[in-house]
Amino acid sequence: QVQLVESGGGLVQPGGSLRLSCAASGSSFSRYAMAWYRQAPGKQRELVAYITSGSNTNYADSVKGRFTISRDNAKNMVYLQMNSLKPEDTAVYYCHAIGVGGGWGQGTQVTVSS
């Protein structure tokens, strides 16, 4: 199973930027599609963005044009660049490896507040 560890969360003012990182273990990382999800208090976990093994990407409408997902297969890393952050982006962000043997990270808190 792929083990995932997120980092890069924190407190940022509205309009600011953060870059989340997800470090993956395992030699089969490049075969997995990878995704970022988020869960705000009292809400269901929702898909933010995903990237296929071939680096095709897709985004939730709420983050299109502001967030960018990318991957570095040589380093077993996935990133989420978040720009123009809004208070409604506040949530715990999770990295997810999609497929058999995939898994979830422990999450990293992102708080957007003045």
**pLDDT value, residue 100:** 81
For 7-50, the pLDDT digits (tens) are 999 999 999 999 999 999 977 888 999 999 999 999 999 999 99
**pLDDT value, residue 68:** 98
Average pLDDT of the residues of the chain: 95
**pLDDT value, residue 101:** 80
For residue 29, the SS3 value is: helix
What confidence tier does 83 reach under pLDDT thresholds 50, 70, 90? very high
Percent of the chain with pLDDT over 90: 89
**pLDDT value, residue 102:** 82
CA 111, CA 90: separation in Å to the nearest integer?
5
Range 105-112 average pLDDT: 97
CA 18, CA 3: separation in Å to the nearest integer?
23
For residue 71, the SS3 value is: strand
**pLDDT value, residue 82:** 98
Percent of the chain with pLDDT over 70: 99
Q: Please list, in sequence order, all residues whose beta carbon lies within 8 angstroms of the beta carbon of residue 87, skipping any fewer than 6 positions away.
A: 14, 112, 113
CA 68, CA 33: separation in Å to the nearest integer?
15
